[in-house]
Chain A
Amino acid sequence: MNKGMFNKKVLGALVLAALLSACKSTPMTDKPAGVQDKSPAGASTQSSANGSADTSGVKEVVIDSNANNGNNPLKDPNNILSKRNIYFDFDSDAVKAEFRPLVEAHAKYLLANSNAKVVLQGNTDERGTREYNVSLGQRRAVAVKKSLNLLGVQDKQIETVSLGEEKATANCADEACNQQNRRVDVVYEND
């Protein structure tokens, strides 16, 4: 029955396309075909972003893009896996609830790809001594690692490191700038 519905939809689309092109006096261009080419791609992107657990169709898209197109889900801007920054409050190394979907997505990816390895890079703002900030950044990286551990990811897939204040935006004048520096970046081995 799905097949029948699909045929009806395609037929409708073709009829609509024919009607539209007939209305215009300009010569046929690639445009209608372009629209049709885009829609499946758009649909699959959407399902991979939203339906994290539903359909096997999502996985197929991911695998296809890895194997054939080089479309790495880790780099796809529409995929949550491309989100790599976890920000921290100024008085805390707690992983905030707003970053839960991001951490869960990376945990899921790491569980599905047991060869994948991730480096969690902790960062701090500029205040304090350089070596102490290396240790503070490390504590944030460890907090994210523990989040991944609780979701089932093994330590062998994770390395926690710290860049301390070395990659901080220099000479922050306000708190908003400092907050950008208090961060863990999720970096995959082959990024």
Chain B
Amino acid sequence: MRWHLLQIAVKFHELFKTLLTIRYMKKMPSLFQTVLFVCTVAVSAMMTSVSHAALEIEISGGNAQQLPIAIVPFNQDAVKNQENIANIISADLRRSGMFRVLETAGVASKPSAMSQVKYSDWASLQAQAIAVGKIEALPGNRLKVSFQLGDVLKQTQLADMDYNITPSQLRMTAHKIADVIYQKLTGESAIFASRIAYINKSKGRYALQVADADGVNPQTVVSSNEPIISPAWSPDGTKIAYVSFEKKKPIIFVQSLMTGQRITLASFKGNNSAPAWSPDGSKLAIVLTHAANSQLYLINADGSGLRQLTKSNAIDTEPVWSPDAKWVYFSSDRGGSPQIYKVSSIGGDAQRVTFDGPYNLSPRFSPDGKSLAMIRNDGGRYRVALQNLATGQVQILSEGNQDESPSFAPNGRVLLYATRTAGRGALAAVSADGRVKQRLSESGGDIREPAWGPLLN
């Protein structure tokens, strides 16, 4: 019994964690943060549409040049008890940080179609764009939503859309209209008609919830008295993979959102965790341990065809696919401290990706494959960082001390992440250029592990 042989090499990352956290406990609020706070108060005061939202949203910062737009309240007598969808559209556009949504109450005319718009009214309000629309009842309990977008200066029509929907699709239709406005006026691709998933811990229970991207309509996908972590959307948005500790160890499940049906994807001896869908949704990269350290494996989406992807004596975890499916990026401490590596998705030797900073975890690809978000230990503070893969340049995007789980919006312009305030988890978002910041919080909830889903068709 040679006991001394059991003493295993010292691991430095926890030492880093401890020393650096202590060193940076006393942090002065910066002028920048103070300015942001003022902006937050001002913008929050303007917002009227999210009072019933489960997740309250605060916005701070914003682009220097915000496009002034008038969103005229829709004529929606057909659905009188519903919130006017102009409010939902306005909130989406404000949240992007790229629009200044103008107060329209002072304008006497209330057009609901471009044919009724008197451009001079809106020019004097200094609007550059105007959106109008109406909702009409159709037979069979359906609704027709019409919407038009106009350029006030050129006096031209930019968009004209009709949507034939069920009443339950009204809110998502508002998000689709906001997407049309956003795409037409900014040139960016759509973002608002999407959903987010996250874990809400409340009263000792863990709920995996899905909400609209504006935090409204939270629905519980699965709840448990044991922890749930690492939700991951299938690329088509119909299923979520997650890790549940319901059997007192991490096991991966895949659950259909529509039917609630779930399969056990991986329940091997040891741990089963960190699911990551391949871009085509046919398989997942996962982490298994069997009787040793965490290693990467591939498994088909139905739980068949398990094969090992990395073989090391170190920790290999947090896999994520490159958008072209050629690479699996992951975090590993094979070089000492945790850094990000990549391995071909058909196997082979791993190559190191991050060299800057003592501690980089949780790689996430931007949808265009050009940049990599990660969690960097920045002097004891765990923050969201964004690395340009072509230049290697890194920008720290978040300002918390324990930020985690970065997740790109479908258009890559915004990152959602988990942060912590007053000992509780909350969600935050930051634009990829670092300018616009948002916080989403739920009173009494402890929210973590956000994952932004794909656009809804």
Chain A residues proximal to chain B, CB less than 8 Å: 90-95, 97, 100, 119, 121, 125-132, 134-136, 138-139, 142-143, 145-147, 150-151, 155, 158-164, 166-167, 170-171, 175, 178, 182, 187
- B289 near A138 (CB under 8 angstroms)? yes
Q: Shortest beta-carbon distance, B18 to chain A, in Å?
A: 5
With contacts A90-B15, A135-B315, A142-B292 known, is A159 near B269, CB below 8 A?
yes
List 10 additional A-B contacts (Cβ < 8 Å) besides A129-B361, A130-B229, A130-B449: A90-B15, A92-B10, A129-B404, A131-B362, A146-B6, A160-B270, A160-B291, A164-B250, A170-B423, A171-B423
| Residues in chain A near residue B269, CB distance under 8 A | 159
Residues B167-208 near A (CB distance < 8 A)? none
- Chain B contact residues: helix, strand, loop or mixed: mixed
Q: Mark B331-363, 1 if CB is under 8 A from A, else 0.
A: 100000010000000000000000000000110
- A137 CA / B18 CA spacing, docked (Å): 16
- A163 CA / B289 CA spacing, docked (Å): 13
- B11 near A139 (CB under 8 angstroms)? yes
- B315 near A166 (CB under 8 angstroms)? no
- A90 near B289 (CB under 8 angstroms)? no
- A182 CA / B14 CA spacing, docked (Å): 10
With contacts A135-B294, A142-B293 known, is A91 near B273, CB below 8 A?
no
- B291 near A129 (CB under 8 angstroms)? no
- A132 near B315 (CB under 8 angstroms)? yes
Q: Which residue of B271, B294, B315, B382 contacts A127 across the interface (Cβ within 8 Å)?
A: B382
- A100 CA / B8 CA spacing, docked (Å): 15
With contacts A138-B289, A160-B270, A160-B291 known, is A131 near B17, CB below 8 A?
no
- Asked whether any CB of chain A lies closer than 8 Å to the CB of B375, the reply is yes
Q: Shortest beta-carbon distance, A30 to chain B, in Å?
A: 44
- Chain A contact residues: helix, strand, loop or mixed: mixed
| Residues in chain A near residue B24, CB distance under 8 A | none
| Residues in chain A near residue B227, CB distance under 8 A | 163, 166-167
Q: Shortest beta-carbon distance, B436 to chain A, in Å?
A: 24
- A97 CA / B249 CA spacing, docked (Å): 27
Q: Which residue of A121, A127, A142 contacts B291 across the interface (Cβ within 8 Å)?
A: A142
| Residues in chain A near residue B273, CB distance under 8 A | 131, 134
With contacts A129-B405, A166-B229 known, is A97 near B293, CB below 8 A?
no
- B17 near A127 (CB under 8 angstroms)? yes
Q: Which residue of B12, B248, B287, B375 contacts A161 across the interface (Cβ within 8 Å)?
A: B248
Q: Shortest beta-carbon distance, A122 to chain B, in Å?
A: 9
Some 19 contacts from A to B, beta carbons below 8 A apart, are A92-B8, A92-B14, A100-B3, A125-B14, A125-B17, A127-B18, A129-B362, A130-B230, A130-B448, A131-B318, A134-B271, A134-B287, A150-B5, A159-B270, A160-B289, A161-B250, A161-B271, A162-B289, A164-B250
- A92 CA / B21 CA spacing, docked (Å): 17
- Asked whether any CB of chain A lies closer than 8 Å to the CB of B155, the reply is no
- B10 near A91 (CB under 8 angstroms)? yes
Q: Mark B209-230, 1 if CB is under 8 A from A, else 0.
A: 0000000000000000001011
- B250 near A134 (CB under 8 angstroms)? yes
- A90 CA / B405 CA spacing, docked (Å): 24
Residues B393-413 near A (CB distance < 8 A)? 402, 404-405
- B361 near A132 (CB under 8 angstroms)? yes
- B6 near A95 (CB under 8 angstroms)? yes
- A140 CA / B30 CA spacing, docked (Å): 40
Residues B3-56 near A (CB distance < 8 A)? 3, 5-8, 10-15, 17-18, 21
| Residues in chain A near residue B248, CB distance under 8 A | 119, 121, 161, 163, 187
Residues B268-289 near A (CB distance < 8 A)? 269-271, 273-274, 287, 289
- Asked whether any CB of chain A lies closer than 8 Å to the CB of B154, the reply is no
- A22 CA / B292 CA spacing, docked (Å): 68
- B423 near A150 (CB under 8 angstroms)? no
Q: Shortest beta-carbon distance, B300 to chain A, in Å?
A: 21
| Residues in chain A near residue B15, CB distance under 8 A | 90-91
Residues B281-333 near A (CB distance < 8 A)? 287, 289, 291-294, 315, 317-318, 331
Q: Which residue of A94, A119, A160, A171 contacts B8 across the interface (Cβ within 8 Å)?
A: A94
- Asked whether any CB of chain A lies closer than 8 Å to the CB of B105, the reply is no
| Residues in chain B near residue A136, CB distance under 8 A | 11, 13-14, 315
- Asked whether any CB of chain A lies closer than 8 Å to the CB of B2, the reply is yes
Q: Which residue of A100, A128, A138, A143 contacts B13 across the interface (Cβ within 8 Å)?
A: A128
Q: Shortest beta-carbon distance, A162 to chain B, in Å?
A: 5
- Asked whether any CB of chain A lies closer than 8 Å to the CB of B1, the reply is yes
Q: Shortest beta-carbon distance, B10 to chain A, in Å?
A: 5
| Residues in chain A near residue B249, CB distance under 8 A | 119, 121, 159, 161-163
| Residues in chain A near residue B293, CB distance under 8 A | 135, 138-139, 142
| Residues in chain B near residue A161, CB distance under 8 A | 248-250, 270-271, 289
- A163 near B12 (CB under 8 angstroms)? no
With contacts A139-B293, A161-B248 known, is A131 near B8, CB below 8 A?
no
- A132 CA / B6 CA spacing, docked (Å): 23
The 5 closest A-B pairs by CB, nearest first: A161-B249, A135-B294, A166-B227, A91-B15, A135-B315
